[in-house]
Chains A and B, each alone.
Chain A
């Protein structure tokens, strides 16, 4: 009967802690105290990649694996019989990044709990853990764009070719015809094979 009353008291206190945003007190036995809290994940099931978001796959871990517990449908979790001292609580949920939480269980003030996020040293007035950010594990495929083709090695090759085909003649035009002739003369002397001579058959006769 005593335990029932105890549980009732606990429940009441839990309610208080929610409604008046006071802190979760807890009564405990001689050896340890319970730690209770809540994990709140916004917009469950509306994730793009579907997989995460199920509360049933969320684990709450005390002190790097010493104890593991799971969430109730409403997001509450609790550890029982935790000794006084400073502890670490981590939340493992696929798709979300949670900061570990430093939890001080006071020995002097039985069952008084103080919690703070270790990532940004923010104290928690209420023991409600929310993800700091969503985790996206995949690169997002960029939609098809002309730029992506242009940026690819083949695109660059093509671009370079086009540049040579269309811009170079323009450059040639601007050259002094006198100089151009001299350069061509020089080239002919050196015997640079023309494109036509490279192509057998069709171009062979005309170039000579």
Chain B
């Protein structure tokens, strides 16, 4: 009885917390968080004599950040909304960072030291146009420094102190295309230059103070134009003509327009290539790209064009940098054999021989070509000019080069992760030697004594610091071998730049990285995109000596017609094993449940011409496929037409060329949704590798429900076409959400349900026999989450014990997807507070552990919510038996317990997806969340019941045992003595 009571007490103690929660000093023990910014678009240096040196950048992920120029760390950072693309970046008044975003309609000022937004100004306009941000030097109106913005067909002059619009000029009425805002250096006059039509140049002159139109002029050019106007100096513009054979220089002095034309062939002799004017802003000169050469042309004061220099293999040219009165420098980079050469030259020198800097630097060739370069100068100790260059690479990484060395680099391609899979690490070959353990025994004991001191709260602050440091950098975490618990894995990540990186789950360091050849821009393909990454080969039975490999599927261009590119990568070494450029297109990739003798998984690639292509292309693979030929089913979703079709393989392709790896398929079924009332917005299936531990669910009243578990279920969410937009565009009456659960083998609709007054966006997860989905209820104006659980009714009569004993049950009969079992679906809905960005469910290796939903909220945090809160059997007053089973009383909204945020007090900025991987330890699931930032942790939804927690005190256990043994001896001696005394008496 006592033991039972004790056990009950123990159980009570261990189950008192069922939510995931950690102590503050446990941050960083099993999680890591990496900050990124994305591919840099604009960069502005801020390097005054006093204060910290920093560079301000804006990126393609809509991030505005201030980086430390010494180490490349982020001082502060803001992630703007997804529609809020940054168009321009500059510094005003020496203390504000000015950004222009949302196509030139939002102007914001941020405080330079800490990133606090100071003011925000909305610049209304009516016509989409180019957006230009121009902060003129020393231009004042009523003591205010002006900011000139052109956007949405309007020119605004904004005060830089408080963002007030001082004056505004609307160009929307005139059909013109403004290309430049130029400030005259002599007087407070602003020139607005551009085109109306393709060949008419116009120039408007404004008074900066109040926006009065001083002069207005236009002139017809003798030819059409190509590309954009480039302003070479305050009164000179250049452009190419429409056949790209002539350079037209336009002089806009005093508001009059004069033009000159010059054939390119007259300047540099005959050439075959097409010329392009590069957009680098260099005073007095401009760069022309022709036949992979860059020709620098100088515009003399008389309006003559002079060739200054001709440079080969230029990767990028920077804008000019003013280094002293009247002197400007610019930089360009060339790719050498193994090195990158960068030169900084004086713009004003006549022959450009006077180099400021000519240096070479070795840059890892997995970073690809240099795409952009920004330069900044500093005064060296010997008073000469030094330059630092910020380079944006092809893989989106950022490098700072100074004095021929890389000062720092940032792997910012990881801000745009496209797809992730987890891969195992190699098995440890030789066991740890005994000597090593003995050597470390003292250290080990010392560590534990320190820990014990920590638990007993008698540790000094130094001890505490030592404990924390010891816990954080335990070498065990980042070992390159597989561990017993399966916590150490490789996360293989495909980025938008076409780079594949392997991250170690222990501490997040990059193990290897490879820039894929056929995902790089080339002559064959102008804009390749990586789509997905799949496990290609996971050797465990037959081919143990081979390394696992992954398959990266990409496409040329983002349209359906682009041909496929495949890459096979060794997951241990990061080598590209094979790369294929295929002739067919890609609509879908289906990993089949078959592997060949080398453990390569068979994949079917479905193309846009209704053909299926088998990979790997070996006769063996065809043979394996033939065996399971009639069991391959898949479905396709046509969102535009509102049709879902089921397919099966039919026969080999019939054509002129015999291709035994090509198959045609037939349509088995189709579900057509009425297009006037329903529009598909989300489809979700179960994860193919999910494990279900038990098929039956025992109810409180000893009743049994059988889960309907089929891997061929598809969840579809449809909304009313009128309500398919954002919240706020539809009224409750015209909105509804219809959800379906469809069997993808037979096309049978198992369940259909309509939610009136509800709309998307829908986020859903499908696991075991349940679906949870998140949507917006317009009537209550709150978000809701619903759960649907599907149970198999046809097996319900199996629960008779006598039938089981007499063997008259059908539990062992094979389950076929063709059968039409009777199913029932149970459903319940709850309110949920936040908008959701991503949703996922924890997965464990055997599926025994209870599940948790991982919800990425709008605040870029990840919340773990126990599945027990989403149980259709919840009632207002559960009976005693139901309570014992773990049913929580029904509430109208789901609780948000702040301790169950697995991201605790950090944000995964720009969160896009959450991924879970089972660890080898049944209780634990690994979670990887990514967006602009990366976050990894491991969670135990039902606590770590199968292992001791990390903060388990071995020392306390040892001391207890020692104390017990000592007590045994003492009591034994005492009893001996007592016995002796008894005998003497």
Please list the residues of chain A having a beta carbon within 8 angstroms of any beta carbon in chain B: 1, 3-4, 7, 29, 34, 49, 51-52, 55-57, 59, 61, 63-73, 78, 80-83, 85-88, 90, 92-95, 97, 99-100, 102, 118-119, 135-141, 143-144, 151-154, 156-158, 160-161, 165, 195-196, 199, 203, 206
Contact = CB atoms under 8 A, between A and B. Distances in A.
B292 interface: no
B881 interface: no
Interface in B868-891: none
B442 interface: no
Given A61-B858, A72-B118, A139 B81 contact: no
Given A61-B858, A67-B84, A51 B905 contact: yes
B671 interface: no
B28 to A, nearest CB: 13
Nearest to A2: B168
14 contacts: A4-B164, A52-B905, A56-B115, A65-B835, A65-B858, A68-B80, A90-B835, A93-B859, A94-B907, A95-B905, A137-B898, A143-B457, A151-B13, A203-B972
B858 A137 contact: no
B761 A72 contact: no
Interface string B941-985: 000000000000000110010011001100110001000000000
A80 B24 CA distance: 40
A129 to B, nearest CB: 14
B120 A78 contact: yes
Contact of B901 (A93, A137, A140): A137
Interface of B: 6, 9-10, 13, 17, 21-25, 27, 76, 78, 80-84, 106, 108, 114-120, 122, 124, 164-168, 455-457, 726-729, 731, 761, 776, 778, 780-783, 833-835, 837, 857-861, 893, 896, 898-899, 901, 904-907, 956-957, 960, 963-964, 967-968, 971-972, 976
Contact of B964 (A88, A152, A158): A158
A61 B835 contact: yes
A82 B726 CA distance: 12
Contacts of A52: 905
Given A65-B835, A139-B23, 17 more contacts: A51-B905, A56-B116, A61-B81, A65-B82, A68-B80, A72-B120, A73-B118, A87-B728, A92-B859, A93-B859, A94-B907, A100-B833, A119-B833, A137-B899, A141-B24, A153-B10, A203-B976
A33 B213 CA distance: 31
In this complex, which of A34, A139, A141 has the most chain B Cβ atoms within 10 angstroms of its Cβ?
A139
Nearest to B896: A97
Contacts of B781: 86, 88, 102, 118
B116 A55 contact: yes
Contact of A141 (B25, B118, B729, B860): B25
A103 B976 CA distance: 84
A76 B684 CA distance: 40
Contacts of B10: 153, 156
Contact of B905 (A7, A65, A94, A99): A94
Given A138-B24, A158-B964, A87 B165 contact: no
Contacts of A144: 455-457
A71 B901 CA distance: 24
Given A65-B837, A81-B122, A144-B456, A160 B164 contact: no
B956 A73 contact: no
B81 A67 contact: yes
Given A56-B116, A144-B455, A154-B957, A68 B729 contact: no
A208 to B, nearest CB: 14
B727 A64 contact: yes
Given A56-B116, A68-B80, A92-B860, A100 B782 contact: yes
In this complex, which of B24, B82, B971 has the most chain A Cβ atoms within 10 angstroms of its Cβ?
B24
B967 A83 contact: no
B117 A70 contact: yes
A62 to B, nearest CB: 8
A161 B964 contact: yes
A69 B835 contact: no
Contacts of A95: 905
B455 A99 contact: no
Contacts of B13: 151
Contacts of B976: 196, 203, 206
Contact of A81 (B124, B901, B904, B957): B124
A7 B158 CA distance: 13
Nearest to B19: A139
Contacts of A68: 80-81, 84
A48 to B, nearest CB: 10
Given A88-B781, A102-B781, A154-B956, A73 B124 contact: no
B569 to A, nearest CB: 34
A57 B778 CA distance: 29
Contacts of B726: 63-64, 66
A158 B728 CA distance: 64
A87 B905 contact: no
A99 B960 contact: no
A56 B116 CA distance: 5
Contacts of B967: 161, 165
B729 A90 contact: no
A110 B835 CA distance: 28
Contacts of A140: 23
A141 B76 CA distance: 31
Contact of A139 (B9, B22, B859): B22
Contacts of B6: 156, 160
B118 A49 contact: no
B984 to A, nearest CB: 14
B584 to A, nearest CB: 37
B904 A3 contact: no
A135 B897 CA distance: 8
Contacts of A72: 117-120
Nearest to A67: B81
Contacts of A64: 726-727, 761, 776, 835, 858
A63 to B, nearest CB: 4
Given A51-B905, A66-B83, A92-B858, A158 B896 contact: no
Contact of A199 (B167, B457, B761, B972): B972
A90 B21 contact: no
A195 B84 CA distance: 80
A158 B963 contact: yes
A107 B80 CA distance: 29
B81 A7 contact: no
B106 to A, nearest CB: 8
